[in-house]
């Protein structure tokens, strides 16, 4: 059985991990709803489709998907991400 301070530290660690991981599905849904421009391979902003506010209704489902895939994302960040070359990591972070 864990002591009270250990439980508090564990909860804080999980919360930090939730905030620190990408939330890819939620971010993609919000970007589609807001209609943000994207950056192409040349570094120019390209206008995307108009904002589609109907996608805001999908945010709760996207959040559930992010929570469900959280363990896999955590494993990816811990075990795979550090081995990518720096230039690949920079390009992936720009998207």
Q: In whole angstroms, what is the distance from residue 42 CA to residue 88 CA?
A: 16
Q: Which residues of the chain have pLDDT under 50?
A: none
pTM: 0.53
Q: pLDDT value at position 22?
A: 64
Q: In whole angstroms, what is the distance from residue 25 CA to residue 87 CA?
A: 24
CA 59 to chain centre: 13
Q: pLDDT value at position 57?
A: 94
Domain ranges of the chain: 23-94
Q: What is the DSSP string of 35-65?
A: T--EE-TTS-EE--SPP-GGGGGGHHHHHHH
């Amino acid at each position: 059985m864990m002591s009270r301070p250990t439980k508090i530290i564990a909860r804080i660690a999980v919360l930090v991990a939730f905030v620190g991981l990408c939330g890819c599905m939620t971010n993609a849904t919000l970007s589609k709803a807001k209609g943000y421009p994207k950056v192409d391979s040349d570094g120019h902003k390209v206008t995307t489709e108009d904002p589609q506010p109907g996608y805001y209704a999908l945010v709760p489902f996207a959040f559930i998907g992010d929570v469900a895939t959280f363990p896999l994302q955590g494993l990816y960040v811990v075990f795979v991400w550090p081995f990518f070359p720096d230039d690949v990591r920079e390009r992936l972070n720009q998207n």
